[in-house]
Structures are given as structure tokens and as C-alpha cells.
Structure 1
Amino acid sequence: MAENKYWIISKRLNEKETAINNLNESAQRFIKQAEMELGEARLMVHEKILIYNGFTLRNLDLTGIDEGLKAIYQNLIDEHNINNLKKYSRYNHVVAIKRYYRIRKGIWNHWSTYLDVMDDLWLELAEIYDELVEDKSNPRTNKLFTQLEVLKSKLNSVKNHRFDNPHFVKELEFMFFGEDGLGTLSKNDVISLFNLDKSKETQVQLNKYPDQITIDDLWDMTFIHRLEEEEDCFAFENKYNLFVKTMLNNNEVKEEMNKVTDEVFGDLFSSIPTYSVATDSFGRATEIKRNKPTLRVVNGGIN
């Protein structure tokens, strides 16, 4: 490697190191603050449920109840001053869930700006890597390769961060349980609690539901027919998060879904060519090979 080129690349790497170090410090501060806000918002959801439970059970006869449970219950009553509450809505925790998702959406929007900067830096490191590879036999480039790998690792350590992404499916279903056990919600309550789309199509769909909404009706409205506003569909996101986590963690469900997908879309997918892609350490495609078509047994023959 020519002397001048060596020092030019070295200078560029040093500039990227400064930029990545500054970005990492700023990103780590943001992550810490964001995780704290998400944690507090998540805690608020369960706190609202606890308060509602305490409110509905405030006149419960504690005779014969385990002393440990009695103490926990009494602490709940005292901490939240429940005996002085005249009323407490069973929907308060739903409002807290909506707040959680709005906080998370704001955090993600902000985090996206960090990811854009990280992607730009990643591409710049890839360009430097390509220049070094041209003269990789030169021993002097080893130091620069090592420095570049360290920078890649630093960038990845923040770039791959995943924020808390829980689901509150059971918590949303909790609002169907009143003092008399499992019940229904009025359609008007559902409309006021969930940000339903204002289109005529949504109104037509809503009219198909009874005046009293069950748990199954709720998920049919929000998950199957997706009647919420697209930008504020927190019920759908909750159910979808549960669906994805179940798919990832339950092999039986995963196999059943694959089987259904194959039965419904198998003929279509079998006619679409697929490819295997090899990538380099920066995720760039280095080789693309077309896969052999999958043979399907149809009516006793091979298709």
C-alpha cells in the first residue's frame, strides 16, 4: 500500500472511530432513558389492575385468609388509599396500555434517526474495507483491519439493541372481568376505548357486531378485521406480538402454521423461484444461487 494511501485510510478510520464513539455515548444515554420510560409505563399498567382489584375487593371479609396474603392485600389498600376511592374504572389499565404504546412509538421514531446514522457509518466502513482488501497482502494493512473490526463491533453492539416489546393480551382481556366474573362490554365502550377507523367500511363492519361485545368479538374486530386506526392500533399490535412470540417459541404451532401455509399457498409458492444468498461480513450479497424447485405430491403423483 502506498504511503500516502495508507495515511489517508488511517485518517478516515480515526474520524469514523470518533464519530462512532460519540454516537455510542449518545445512543446509550437514549437507551437508558427510553428503557426507564418503558419500564415505568409497563409498571403503570399492572398497577392500575392491582388498584382495581383492591377496589372491588375492599369490603372482602379477611377472616381465615393466610396472614401473608392478608398483609399484601392491606398494603395495597393503604398504599393507594383505596378505601377513600368512591369509584374506579375497570378500563383505567387500558388507557395505561394505550399510553405505553404511544411512548414506545415515540421512542422508536427517535431511535430510527440513530439507526439511519449507524447505517451510513456502516456503509462507510464497508467502503474502507473494500479499499483495504485491494492490498490485504501488505502487512501494514493488518493494523487498519484490526481497527476496522473493532469499529464494526462497537457499531453492532448498539445497532442490534432491542427495546422492550411486551404484549398485554391478558391485560386487555381483564377488562371483561367485573365483580360478577367474565362478562361483555358495550359496543359504545369499545368504540371509546379503541381508536377505530372512521371510514364507512369500518362502520359497516361495526354494525355487524352485537351491542354487547365478547372477548372473541374484540379480537375479531381488532386483529382479524383490523378496524383500528392504522397509526394507533395498539390492540392489534398486542395480539400480533403474542402471535409472533408463540410462533417463535412453540414448535407445534410453527409446524401447524407451515402446514396451513403450504396447503393454502403451496401451489402458488412452488411456481415462484427462490434463491440462496451468501453475504460478506457487512451483509452485502457476494453470491446468489437459484434453488432447485420443491417437488410436491399431488393426487398420488409428483408435481
Structure 2
Amino acid sequence: MQRPLLLGILATAFWASNFDATRIALESLAPLTAASLRFVIATIAIMTLLACTEGLALAPLRRNLLAFPALGILGVAGFNAALCIGLQSSSPLTGALIMATTPLSSTLLESLLTRKWPAVQTFCGMALSLFGVALVLGRGHFATIGAMLTPGDLVILAGSLAWAAYGVGCKRFVKDASPLAISSWTMLFGTIALVLTSLTEGNPLRAAWRAAPDALLASLWMGIVGSALAYIFWTIAIAGRGVARTAILFNLVPVFAMLIGWGIGRAPAPLQILGTAITILGVALTQMRLSRLTARPSRGPIAS
């Protein structure tokens, strides 16, 4: 297996592990405090990487003095706060499935902005993917999906849309910055926003000090492995495979989320397995079409 492909797959596995790790952290930390702790750790790690590889040059920051803070608040603070809040009532697998539709949301949002509508195959992929998510959420009873949706599902959906807007915004509004620089600076501003917001829940330092060891270990895992290391691996995969071909791998996130849940004793129901497979098939159908239309890799955000 090629090294960029292997690292891309590992990145999706690390991201998938964040769903269950978040649930562990939420057992003794408030949602915004848990998200803040994770990204303080991740920001220290990824800014250190940026300093050691590309240097902490301020030129990209000056060129994007409005874009970086806005995108950080939207795609890092907004998305991850929504994920932590949503997982209080949603399940890790459902959250991962909702997040798997993010590439489709990005495609649709970009189409609205450019007024260039996707091909029929892309729309078919979107419909198939949404059918798979609906199958899981409604447990086969589509007429009662609205009643079965938890508040957490809707919050995670809002976070997914925020991440889609972040991706499109990075592509359209960021000027002359590498993927690592984009991720590092937006993560820094997003982390600042998360920390400030977490003050509404009390003293985050005191909460982290009093947290159970399991919650702290889960936060450490999410910060170093599920965020910083995953970003690094994803960057290498993009450099070796291109954006479009690497984006297809994001469809593996719900698969790994399901396998991780299975490994810790939460066996998925047959409908969940079927819905996951249909969702991945639909997203892959769309992404394969996009990959054929993409002639050259383009710069953009690294990933969630």
C-alpha cells in the first residue's frame, strides 16, 4: 500500500475515534470545556509542527487577517462545539454518518455560490447518501424520522454545515497559504473562541483539574492523535494523492466509527450496517465524479 494512501486511511480512523473519545470526555467535562481542552492540546502540537516545517511566517496571516479568524470561529469553534454538544444525546455512529454527508454539503454550497450545478450523477449520489442516513435515523420507518431525531442529531447537522462552509470558504477566500498554514492559523483562532466561550460554563482550568483520569486521557488522545496527528497525516496524503482522491477516504469515517463501537461492545444493528454502507456508496459515487472532473489538486482545508 502506498504511504500517502495508508496515512490518509489512518487519519480517517483517528477522526472516527474522536466520536467515542468525546463521549468519554463528556462524562466529567462540560461540552465547551471538553472541546476547548482538546483544541488547546491540538493547537500547541500543530503550531509546533508549523514552526518546525514552514516557520511561523506572518505574511500568510497578514494576507488573511479577516479570513483566518472568521473561518476558525466557523469551522473549528462552531463545528467542534456542535459536535460536543450534539453527542450528549446523539450516538457516535449517527454523528459519524451525519458528518459523512459533509462533502456533499460542500459540493451543493459551492454550486450555489458559483451557480454551476453538479452533474446528474452527483445529485444521485447525494440522494443515495441521504437515504442511508435516513435509514439509520428512522430505523427503517421513514415517516417517523422527525420524531426519532434527537436534539443532538440536529446540532451535529448544524456543525456539519458549518464545516462544509469552512471548506468552501478556505478555497474561495484564503489567499496564498499552504494547507498546513491554513489549518494551523484557523485552529488557533478557533481555539481562542472555544476557550472564551467555555468560560460561560465556569472555570475551564478548574474543571480540567477535577476531571476524571479517563476524561483527561480521552482529551489528550483527541488533541494529539485525533486532531494534530490526523491533520499531519491528511496533509501528507493530500500532497501525495491530491485533494479529490484523498477526499474520497473521508467516507471511511463512519465505517471506522462503527468498528470502534463494535470493538468496545456496542454492536451495530443490521439497519445501521445497511444505512452506513448506503451512505458511503452515495458519497463515493459523488466523489468519484468530482475526482474525474478535477484536473489538478487545489489548496484548501486539510480536514475535520
Q: TM-score range by the shorter chain?
A: under 0.3
Q: TM-score by structure 2 length? A: 0.25
- Structure exhibiting the larger radius of gyration computed from Cα positions: 1
Tell me which protein shows more strand as a share of its residues: 1
